[in-house]
Amino acid sequence: VALARTGNPRAIARVISQVENDATAAQSVIRAVYGDTGRAHLVGITGPPGSGKSTLVNELAKAFRARGRTVAIIAVDPSSPFTGGAILGDRVRMRDLAGDEGIFVRSMASRGSLGGLARATAAVVKVLDAAGYHMILIETVGAGQAEVDIATAAQSTVVLEAPGMGDDVQSIKAGILEIADILVVNKADRPGASRAVRSLEMMLHLGLPAEPETIAHGPGHEVATAAGAAQEAADAAARWNIPVLETVATDGRGIPELAAAIDDHRHYLEASGQGRLRERLRAQREIAAALHDRFVARLETEVPAEARLALADAVAERRLDPASAAEQLLAGLDTNHRSIH
Amino acid sequence: VALARTGNPRAIARVISQVENDATAAQSVIRAVYGDTGRAHLVGITGPPGSGKSTLVNELAKAFRARGRTVAIIAVDPSSPFTGGAILGDRVRMRDLAGDEGIFVRSMASRGSLGGLARATAAVVKVLDAAGYHMILIETVGAGQAEVDIATAAQSTVVLEAPGMGDDVQSIKAGILEIADILVVNKADRPGASRAVRSLEMMLHLGLPAEPETIAHGPGHEVATAAGAAQEAADAAARWNIPVLETVATDGRGIPELAAAIDDHRHYLEASGQGRLRERLRAQREIAAALHDRFVARLETEVPAEARLALADAVAERRLDPASAAEQLLAGLDTNHRSIH
């Protein structure tokens, strides 16, 4: 862990493997590195299969490298391991980015539960953040709730689509759109690109909450012109108009603009106070997850397995309802806990 | 609730609305009806948009009606409410099934959290089960983790696809395939249908665990021929070979075979003991969810909001890691709890 914090890629890779495979190890790693986190800019990039995510993420990584920043890429595939897609994409990617020591690439495939994957991703992000990477790009394949959950680990979320993906896909995308800070129509050289842009702009217009009301000014502000101008600038910083950008990742078109938009979003987060608000929400979610883990562990050590199984069978056979079973378990915990202290 | 249990459609609809909108009401409704549940056959039907789910579910409902059974349909749309898809599909469906009092239809759209939707669906299923519907068809739009979660409420899961949905979709489907008890290629009159069937059969062959070993026979069984035959029949009942069926829902082709396969799966669940095993797992999940609710409620009443917010801020500002914050909260709970008793 100490070596990983200095940025040693082999040490980082080894710590990440531990964090992925062992929940207990993950906890102690997070404890060790947590104080050093919070400096990287975490960017989630998501969109349906076929939208050209991997190529775009590679180009984006190069663009940030050209600006002198180090970049870590985490490619998360929540679909079943037996597709092998993540591994395949990874090889192509490796060839493309090979030889640059300022870029770190890691693929993560789903193993068992999705909640587990989201948690492992959050832990890996912390290791890379503490290791000093300036930008952490979290790429997720697919377009479902998994991506929404994983995206909550990011500070800025880029949602990608490509022209001609069909109207059917719209229904999947709606939930995804709501988490977008930046929208991108990739493969913008294909027919239908401008229609896709218009359709996204329309969905933004229809579906998202209207601009927040201008912050109520305190007394006196309306008289001084200079103060008014300052207030206007502050108001502008407090708003974020979700841009809809066009890119052609295969030839790099639109990539510098996308990189700039991502930087703009970070500045917006800082200037508006939204960044602190999002950090607080993330902290609340992480505390809740840690609480849940501890609670489950306590239940498993303090209530005998046979007692838990007997309750499950009573519920399965309709002799007891789930809420009453939960109450009996809690009562058992409390009794046990009182007798321990 | 009493009227709903007699099967009164208006009362059922009113109870369902309460269950959807009010978590506390949902709890007491579940408590009231739980003892009457466990009789309906819960069938999950899922697949990507465009695979013709709604039409197939309608035809299936009619097929079960022709066999003299009552049918409830719950159409769940986990995508954002502003697509309006669920409502639109519902109107078409209503026109198609109107006038049959043995069919009850309900759409549920996502409101807020996905976990909330899965829980609301489970509660609605219980109301309909207690009301005496023989078949409960739970239809989910999309092809993501949401569907997997909702499908765990079902006893038999049918996964649908249509020819020519593109290879990209494969990566989404992989996770879904793993929950399938029955696979269906709908729109089987379209080109590519037999290729889709073959590709599904290959995925089954590649990706799913091999047939379970024949159960080890006790001593003596190998000598008696009659006992051997009985054992063979028992072994056959203990296996389930996932069928890949072809349907054309628009003209009803293949629907009787699908209805028969669903019945076969229920018999398999009963004969093999798998049904009891699945019920036990469901019970464990429902107890865990109820426990979690109670735990969160206790935390919110016993730990002051300011204390929780202060901890979240400490974590957001990296002064404290999430696990340590969780431990402080738990310590607070325990102290509080001891002093109450």
Q: Are B54 and B246 in contact (CB under 8 A)?
A: no
Q: Which residue of chain A comes nearest to B282, CA vs CA?
A: A316
Query: Can you give the pLDDT at residue A266?
Result: 96
Question: A198-202, A318-322, B27-31: which range is least confident on average?
Answer: A198-202
Tell me the pLDDT tens digit for each residue of A72-101: 999 886 554 433 344 445 556 666 777 788
Q: How far apart are the C-alpha atoms of B240 and B182, rounded to whole Å?
A: 10
The one-character DSSP state at A17 is H
Comparing CB atoms, the residue among A50, A316, A325 nearest residue B168 is A50
Q: Which residue of chain B comes nearest to A318, CA vs CA?
A: B35
Element (H, E) at B170: helix B169-177
- Structure confidence at residue A219 as a pLDDT band (50, 70, 90): very low
Query: Can you give the pLDDT at residue B216?
Result: 37
Q: Are B30 and A323 inside 8 Å of each other by CB? A: yes
Comparing CB atoms, the residue among B37, B291, B341 nearest residue A329 is B291
Q: How far apart are the C-alpha atoms of A258 and A244, rounded to whole Å?
A: 10
Q: How far apart are the C-alpha atoms of B270 and B263, rounded to whole Å?
A: 11
Query: Can you give the pLDDT at residue A20?
Result: 79
Query: Can you give the pLDDT at residue A251?
Result: 94
Task: List CB contacts (< 8 A) between A206 and chain B.
Answer: 82
- With a cut of 50, say whether residue B172 has pLDDT above it: no
- With a cut of 70, say whether residue B302 has pLDDT above it: yes
Query: Can you give the pLDDT at residue B296?
Result: 80
Q: Are A334 and B341 inside 8 Å of each other by CB? A: yes
* Angstroms from B230 CA to nearest CA on chain A: 28
- With a cut of 80, say whether residue B78 has pLDDT above it: no
Q: Are B330 and A284 inside 8 Å of each other by CB? A: no
Bigger pLDDT: A73 vs A223: A73
- Structure confidence at residue B174 as a pLDDT band (50, 70, 90): low
Task: List CB contacts (< 8 A) between B178 and chain A.
Answer: 80
Contacts of A84-91 with C-beta under 8 Å, sequence gap 24+, read A85/A141, A85/B171, A86/A141, A89/A54
Question: A162-176, B14-28, B107-121: which range is least confident on average?
Answer: A162-176
Comparing CB atoms, the residue among B38, B79, B291 nearest residue A171 is B79
**Most B CBs within 10 Å: which of A1, A165, A171, as the mutation test of the B interface?**
A171
Question: A150-154, A280-284, B76-80: which range is least confident on average?
Answer: B76-80
Element (H, E) at B4: helix B2-5
Q: Are B337 and A341 inside 8 Å of each other by CB? A: no
Burial track B147-171 (b if 16+ CB lie within 10 A, e otherwise):
bbbbbbbbbbbbbbbbbebeeebbb
Beta-sheet pairing, B41-47 with B156-161: parallel
Q: Are B172 and A313 inside 8 Å of each other by CB? A: no
Query: Can you give the pLDDT at residue A72?
Result: 95
**Most B CBs within 10 Å: which of A31, A321, A324, A334, as the mutation test of the B interface?**
A321
Q: How far apart are the C-alpha atoms of B310 and B329, rounded to whole Å?
A: 11
Bigger pLDDT: B216 vs B179: B179
Task: List CB contacts (< 8 A) between A210 and chain B.
Answer: none
Residues in chain A: 341
Q: Are A33 and A130 in contact (CB under 8 A)?
A: yes
Task: List CB contacts (< 8 A) between B326 and chain A.
Answer: 287, 290-291, 293-294
* Angstroms from B338 CA to nearest CA on chain A: 7
Query: Can you give the pLDDT at residue A215?
Result: 37
Query: Can you give the pLDDT at residue B239?
Result: 80
- Structure confidence at residue A286 as a pLDDT band (50, 70, 90): confident
The one-character DSSP state at A144 is S
Comparing CB atoms, the residue among A83, A114, A283 nearest residue B171 is A83
Token couple for B125: 């299923």
Q: How far apart are the C-alpha atoms of B317 and B226, rounded to whole Å?
A: 74
Token couple for B112: 């807020």
- Structure confidence at residue B83 as a pLDDT band (50, 70, 90): very low
Position B101: which residue type? E
Measure Cα distances from B83 to A46, A174, A177, A197 in Å.
Answer: 20, 7, 11, 18
Q: How far apart are the C-alpha atoms of B146 and A145, rounded to whole Å?
A: 6
Bigger pLDDT: B44 vs B299: B44
Bigger pLDDT: A7 vs A269: A269
- With a cut of 60, say whether residue A193 has pLDDT above it: yes
Alpha carbon B89 to its chain's center: 20
Is A233 buried (19+), middle (13-18) or exposed (0-12) by CB count in 10 A? exposed
* Angstroms from B189 CA to nearest CA on chain A: 20
Tell me the pLDDT tens digit for each residue of B107-136: 876 555 555 677 788 889 999 999 999 999
Phi, psi of A109 (to 5 degrees): -105, 160
Helix A9-21 / helix A114-130 crossing angle, nearest 10 deg:
150
A323: number of CA atoms within 13 Å, CB side? 16
Q: Using alpha carbons, select from B206, B161, B203 the residue that is nearest to residue B186.
A: B161
Task: List CB contacts (< 8 A) between A145 and chain B.
Answer: 78, 114, 144-146
- Structure confidence at residue A17 as a pLDDT band (50, 70, 90): confident
Q: Using alpha carbons, select from A186, A199, A184, A163 the residue that is nearest to residue A243.
A: A184
B142 three-class SS: strand
How many Cβ pairs closer than 8 A exist between chain A and B? 205
Average pLDDT, chain B: 79
Average pLDDT, chain A: 79
B214 CB neighbour count, 10 Å cutoff: 11
Q: How far apart are the C-alpha atoms of A296 and A126, rounded to whole Å?
A: 24
Percentage, residues of chain B above pLDDT 70: 73
- With a cut of 70, say whether residue B339 has pLDDT above it: no
For residues B44-51, average pLDDT: 81
* Angstroms from A6 CA to nearest CA on chain B: 19
Query: Can you give the pLDDT at residue A211?
Result: 39
- Structure confidence at residue B261 as a pLDDT band (50, 70, 90): very high
Q: Are A79 and B143 inside 8 Å of each other by CB? A: no
Query: Can you give the pLDDT at residue A207?
Result: 57
The one-character DSSP state at A26 is H
Q: Are B57 and B73 in contact (CB under 8 A)?
A: yes
Comparing CB atoms, the residue among B173, B279, B311 nearest residue A287 is B311
Measure Cα distances from A183 to B172, B195, B267 in Å.
Answer: 22, 36, 50
∠ CA(A159), CA(B113), CA(A295), 5° rounding?
Answer: 115
* Angstroms from A207 CA to nearest CA on chain B: 6
- Structure confidence at residue A69 as a pLDDT band (50, 70, 90): very high
Measure Cα distances from A38 to A121, A144, B147, B251, B254 in Å.
Answer: 15, 27, 34, 59, 57
Query: Can you give the pLDDT at residue A131?
Result: 94
Task: List CB contacts (< 8 A) between B49 and chain A.
Answer: 168-169, 171-172
Question: A75-79, A306-310, B32-36, B79-83: which range is least confident on average?
Answer: B79-83
Comparing CB atoms, the residue among A79, A174, A284 nearest residue B83 is A174
Bigger pLDDT: A210 vs B146: B146
- With a cut of 80, say whether residue B233 has pLDDT above it: no
B225 CB neighbour count, 10 Å cutoff: 8
Q: Are A169 and A140 in contact (CB under 8 A)?
A: no
Q: Are A290 and B49 inside 8 Å of each other by CB? A: no
Question: A6-15, A132-141, A207-216, B221-230: which range is least confident on average?
Answer: A207-216
Q: How far apart are the C-alpha atoms of A234 and B127, rounded to whole Å?
A: 52
* Angstroms from B311 CA to nearest CA on chain A: 8
Tell me the pLDDT tens digit for each residue of A233-277: 665 556 899 999 999 999 999 999 999 999 999 999 999 999 998
For residues B185-211, average pLDDT: 78
Bigger pLDDT: A222 vs B109: B109
Query: Can you give the pLDDT at residue B242?
Result: 92
Task: List CB contacts (< 8 A) between A31 and chain B.
Answer: 321, 323-324
* Torsion region of B196: left, alpha or beta (phi above 0 gives left; psi -120 to 50 gives alpha): alpha
Position A270: which residue type? E
Complete DSSP assignment for B18-42 = HHHH-HHHHHHHHHHHGGG-S-SEE
Q: Which residue of chain A comes nearest to B208, CA vs CA?
A: A82
Beta-sheet pairing, A156-161 with A135-141: unpaired
B77 three-class SS: strand
Q: What is the CA radius of gyration of chain A?
A: 23
Percentage, residues of chain A above pLDDT 70: 73
Q: How far apart are the C-alpha atoms of B124 and B153, rounded to whole Å?
A: 11
Task: List CB contacts (< 8 A) between B339 and chain A.
Answer: none
Q: Are A174 and B35 inside 8 Å of each other by CB? A: no
∠ CA(A249), CA(A254), CA(A258), 5° rounding?
Answer: 100
- With a cut of 70, say whether residue B76 has pLDDT above it: yes
Q: How far apart are the C-alpha atoms of B294 and B153, rounded to whole Å?
A: 21
Task: List CB contacts (< 8 A) between B324 and chain A.
Answer: 31
SS3 sequence of A178-228: CCCCEEEECCCCCCCHHHHHHHHHHHHHHHCCCCCCCCCCCCCCCCCHHHH
Q: Are A31 and B177 inside 8 Å of each other by CB? A: no
Q: Are B34 and A330 inside 8 Å of each other by CB? A: no
Q: Are A175 and B299 inside 8 Å of each other by CB? A: no
Q: Are B97 and B105 in contact (CB under 8 A)?
A: yes
